[in-house]
Amino acid sequence: MTRVIGRMAGLLMCAALWLVAAPVDAQTGELLFIRGGTLIDPARDDLGVKGTLVVQNGLIIAVRPGDDSPPLPGARIIDADGGYVMPGISDMHNHFRTGMFRPSDDQARVLRSLLDWGVTTTFDPGVPVDEFDALRAEVAADRRAYPRTFMVRGVFTTEGGWGKGYTPSTAAEARALVRELKAAGSDGVKLMYDDMRWATTRPFPVMDREIAVAIVDEAHRQGLRAYAHAPILELAKHLLEAGVDCLVHGIISEPVDAEFIDLMKRNNTCYISTLAMFQTNAGYDAWATRLEEFDINGRLNPAAMEIFHQAPAGTPRLDNTAWAAERLPVLRINLFTVHGAGIPVLIGTDTGIPGVLPGISAQLELVMHQEAGLDPIDVLRAATSAAAVAFGRPGEFGTLTRGAQADLLILDADPRDDVSNIRRIRHVIRAGRVHR
Ligand SMILES: [Zn+2]
């Protein structure tokens, strides 16, 4: 009897602790039982077998082997039978724009639409300063309707340089601006450090090196990460010497060398190739064909695609697309080299640049990583857990681990055989809410 009472007290204690630990949110307290699928988690070698995920309050609360575990009372069963369950895609370079030549300004709508394509985490390394607060508030008001979103407020550039943003003329001014970004809740700082020689015959001025060093240093003092647009090898090295945390474009100017690899490793700098962006800049017509061939579900708008087929390559400012087109193989080789050296590779598209359409470009970016020679499982890791690690949130998302956010895809075909199976989406789940 005493033993029974003791056990009951224990159970009551557990129940009490459970209530404290997991307050039920009216919207998401729903218990999900995702059963019958093969669990794929590039961060965990022990999975790859059939299993069941139990989800509550937006989090994975249990990972059970096998597909015959009895559901908890009241659970909603999500049928993953014959399917493949993996963490959602992280597209860590995205500007939440339509990718048309005259983009609509409805960033919130574009951001929501990314979920349709399986993108459950994303990062805009340069939200215009005057749009930052409103967009952040909109996402916070209903976060499960959007991917998990990281945002940098504005970008640092120089007078007459590439990109619109802050143009400090002294190191002290730059440091003050970084502190302002910190106070405004920016998820880091972004430096434009490129003369754009890969896309124009009239190169742009580049930020003073001393100012760039001050920006990176002050960001680190403030606990912010520094992201860089620096696709020219020698310029990227300047920023790596300053300790930059992530290159948000691949190196296109020439093959990377040992010095570059050493600097990347020293800082554990992450590398985002944005193959889609370089590909579209090399010629809209060819890129549009690539998108159409990939679109087996017929979701692209033919009228919109026709605009790209008719568009001449480049723009008045970016008049040297041949340079970029010629160097696409270098870009792919650099990705392969960097990955092979053990540098963290993430997936990013630069969505919003004309031709880089939301969602489908992220899926295609995975495929292009596979074409560059990465194994499917490494591509999947780049698209999931590697992003969480690089953004300082290991285990919080991008993995099928107890306690991780339930941002999940259920696919009808195995992406480990061919990452283009990422198109075959049955369900998208964002923080425990079934999106589709
Ligand atoms: Zn960008």
Decide yes or no: CATH 3.10.450.50 for domain 89-390: no
If one counts every other C-beta atom within 10 angstroms of the C-beta of residue 21, the result is 8
The one-digit pLDDT tens for each residue of the chain (436 residues) are: 333 333 333 333 333 333 333 333 444 578 999 999 999 999 987 778 899 999 999 999 999 988 777 878 889 999 999 999 999 999 999 999 999 988 666 899 999 999 999 999 999 999 999 999 999 999 999 999 999 999 999 999 999 999 999 999 999 999 999 999 999 999 999 999 999 999 899 999 999 999 999 999 999 999 999 999 999 999 999 999 999 999 999 999 999 999 999 999 999 999 999 999 999 999 999 999 999 999 999 999 999 999 999 998 878 888 888 888 899 999 999 999 999 999 999 999 999 999 999 999 999 999 999 999 999 999 999 999 999 999 999 999 999 999 999 999 999 999 999 999 999 999 999 999 998 6
| Ligand 1 centroid – CA 94 distance (Å) | 6
| Ligand 1 centroid – CA 373 distance (Å) | 24
The answer to whether 189 and 156 are in contact (CB under 8 A) is yes
| Ligand 1 centroid – CA 223 distance (Å) | 22
| Ligand 1 centroid – CA 95 distance (Å) | 6
| Ligand 1 centroid – CA 93 distance (Å) | 6
Q: How far apart are CA 381 and CA 89, in angstroms?
A: 10
| Ligand 1 centroid – CA 127 distance (Å) | 10
| Ligand 1 centroid – CA 156 distance (Å) | 13
The answer to whether 324 and 355 are in contact (CB under 8 A) is no
| Ligand 1 centroid – CA 41 distance (Å) | 28
Alpha-carbon distances, residue 278 vs 181, 300, 314, 341 (angstroms) = 29, 21, 11, 23
If one counts every other C-beta atom within 10 angstroms of the C-beta of residue 415, the result is 24
pLDDT the model gives residue 66? 80
pLDDT the model gives residue 44? 85
| Ligand 1 centroid – CA 140 distance (Å) | 23
| Ligand 1 centroid – CA 353 distance (Å) | 8
Residue range(s) in the chain whose domain bears CATH number 2.30.40.10: 2-83+412-434
Superfamily of domain 2-83+412-434: Urease, subunit C, domain 1 (2.30.40.10)
pLDDT the model gives residue 436? 66
| Ligand 1 centroid – CA 350 distance (Å) | 5
pLDDT the model gives residue 19? 32
| Ligand 1 centroid – CA 410 distance (Å) | 29
| Ligand 1 centroid – CA 144 distance (Å) | 24
| Ligand 1 centroid – CA 248 distance (Å) | 7
| Ligand 1 centroid – CA 3 distance (Å) | 63
Q: How far apart are CA 274 and CA 71, in angstroms?
A: 42
Residue matched to tokens 């050296």: 341
Residue range(s) in the chain whose domain bears CATH number 3.20.20.140: 89-390
- State which amino acid sits at residue 199: A
Identify the bridge partners of residue 37 per DSSP, sorted by sequence position. 51
Select from 150, 350, 329, 320 the least CA-distant residue to 249. 350
| Ligand 1 centroid – CA 351 distance (Å) | 7
| Ligand 1 centroid – CA 43 distance (Å) | 27
